[in-house]
Amino acid sequence: MMVPVRCFTCGNVVGEYWEEFKARAETHDGDEDPADVLDDLGVDRHCCRRMMVSHQDLVDVVSPYQ
Protein backbone atom coordinates (compact mmCIF):
# COMPACT_ATOMS: atom_id res chain seq x y z
CA MET A 1 0.00 0.00 0.00
CA MET A 2 0.99 3.61 -0.28
CA VAL A 3 2.24 5.52 2.74
CA PRO A 4 -0.62 7.20 4.67
CA VAL A 5 -0.82 10.90 3.88
CA ARG A 6 -1.36 11.88 7.51
CA CYS A 7 -0.04 10.56 10.79
CA PHE A 8 -2.66 8.29 12.40
CA THR A 9 -2.09 9.81 15.83
CA CYS A 10 -1.64 13.55 15.41
CA GLY A 11 -2.89 14.19 11.86
CA ASN A 12 0.31 15.86 10.71
CA VAL A 13 0.97 15.47 6.98
CA VAL A 14 3.80 12.96 6.56
CA GLY A 15 3.11 11.58 3.07
CA GLU A 16 5.05 14.37 1.40
CA TYR A 17 8.28 13.16 3.05
CA TRP A 18 8.01 9.53 2.01
CA GLU A 19 9.74 9.63 -1.36
CA GLU A 20 12.74 11.53 -0.04
CA PHE A 21 12.90 9.39 3.09
CA LYS A 22 12.83 6.21 1.03
CA ALA A 23 15.43 7.48 -1.40
CA ARG A 24 17.83 8.52 1.34
CA ALA A 25 17.25 5.93 4.06
CA GLU A 26 16.45 2.69 2.28
CA THR A 27 19.33 2.46 -0.14
CA HIS A 28 21.26 0.30 2.36
CA ASP A 29 24.50 1.91 1.28
CA GLY A 30 25.17 2.87 4.87
CA ASP A 31 25.52 6.52 4.02
CA GLU A 32 22.57 7.93 5.99
CA ASP A 33 20.89 6.82 9.19
CA PRO A 34 17.07 6.84 8.88
CA ALA A 35 16.90 8.79 12.16
CA ASP A 36 19.17 11.48 10.73
CA VAL A 37 17.04 11.69 7.59
CA LEU A 38 13.88 12.19 9.67
CA ASP A 39 15.64 14.85 11.76
CA ASP A 40 16.69 16.59 8.57
CA LEU A 41 13.16 16.45 7.13
CA GLY A 42 11.76 17.99 10.32
CA VAL A 43 9.74 14.94 11.34
CA ASP A 44 10.44 15.14 15.06
CA ARG A 45 7.40 13.62 16.73
CA HIS A 46 7.66 9.94 17.58
CA CYS A 47 4.16 9.24 16.29
CA CYS A 48 5.04 10.69 12.87
CA ARG A 49 8.45 9.01 12.71
CA ARG A 50 6.92 5.59 13.24
CA MET A 51 4.71 6.19 10.20
CA MET A 52 7.82 6.35 8.07
CA VAL A 53 10.08 3.73 9.65
CA SER A 54 7.30 1.14 9.93
CA HIS A 55 5.96 1.58 6.40
CA GLN A 56 6.48 -1.03 3.70
CA ASP A 57 5.68 -0.11 0.10
CA LEU A 58 3.34 -2.83 -1.20
CA VAL A 59 1.61 -0.87 -3.94
CA ASP A 60 3.45 -2.70 -6.73
CA VAL A 61 2.73 -6.07 -5.13
CA VAL A 62 -1.00 -5.51 -4.69
CA SER A 63 -1.87 -3.42 -7.76
CA PRO A 64 -2.29 -6.37 -10.22
CA TYR A 65 -5.16 -7.67 -8.09
CA GLN A 66 -7.22 -4.49 -7.94
Residue ranges for the known binding site for Zn(2+) are 7, 10, 47-48
Question: Please, which residue, 9 or 27, has the CB nearer to Zn ion?
Answer: 9
Q: Which residues contribute to the annotated binding site? A: 7, 10, 47-48
Tell me the three-class secondary structure of the chain, residue by residue.
CCCCCECCCCCCECHHHHHHHHHHHCCCCCCCCHHHHHHHHCCCCHHHHHHHHCCCCCHHHHHHHC
| C-alpha to C-alpha distance for 41 and 22, rounded to whole angstroms | 12
Q: Which is nearer to Zn ion, 27 or 40 (CB)?
A: 40
- Judged by beta carbon, residue 3 or residue 48, the one nearer Zn ion is 48
Query: Does 10 interact with Zn ion (rule: CB under 5 A)?
Result: yes
Q: Which of residues 33-62 bind Zn ion (CB under 5 A)?
A: 45, 47-48
